[in-house]
């Protein structure tokens, strides 16, 4: 797991028991994982996703923190990596979530 926030990193180590690194301090092992999920979408996490994926692996891109970054198209092509993008929610999902949060904050839990 790659997590820049120290509190979330600690919680992941305690509650999940997985190895967690700070992406600003260290990179994941090269060509090590079959599947990588980038839920952040920062330039560094996109770069590290492509570094960490094994040939023939799949990178799922969800996060949209940064608008643009370079992608190593040579590695993507030669290693036959699948890069998928998905959007995390619809407008209806977002409105329902905001309404639920608003209701919880002001006592309307219906």
**Predicted local distance difference test score (pLDDT) of residue 78:** 96
- How many structural domains are present in the chain? 1
| pLDDT, tens digit, 9 for 90 and up, residues 62-110 | 888 888 778 889 999 999 999 998 877 788 888 888 888 777 666 655 5
3-state secondary structure of 5: coil
**Predicted local distance difference test score (pLDDT) of residue 39:** 84
| pLDDT, tens digit, 9 for 90 and up, residues 32-65 | 999 998 888 888 888 899 999 999 999 999 888 8
CA gap 22, 85 in Å, rounded: 24
Do you know the residue count of the chain?
110
CB neighbourhood size of 61 (10 A): 19
Where b means 16+ CB within 10 Å and e means fewer, 86-102 reads eeeeeeeeeeeeeeeee
Instruction: Provide the CATH number for the domain around residue 31.
Output: 3.40.50.720
Check whether 2 has a pLDDT greater than 60: yes
Domain enclosing residue 59, as ranges: 6-105
């Amino acid at each position: 797991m790659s997590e820049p926030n120290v509190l979330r990193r600690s919680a992941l180590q305690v509650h999940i028991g997985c190895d967690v690194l700070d992406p600003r301090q260290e990179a994941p092992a090269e060509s090590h994982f079959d599947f990588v999920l980038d839920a952040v979408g920062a330039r560094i996490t996109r770069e590290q996703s492509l570094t960490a994926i094994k040939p023939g692996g799949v990178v799922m891109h969800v996060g949209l923190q940064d608008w643009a970054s370079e992608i190593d198209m040579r590695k993507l092509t030669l290693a036959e990596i699948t890069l998928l993008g998905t959007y995390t929610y619809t407008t209806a999902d977002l409105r329902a979530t905001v309404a639920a949060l608003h209701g919880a904050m002001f006592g309307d839990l219906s």
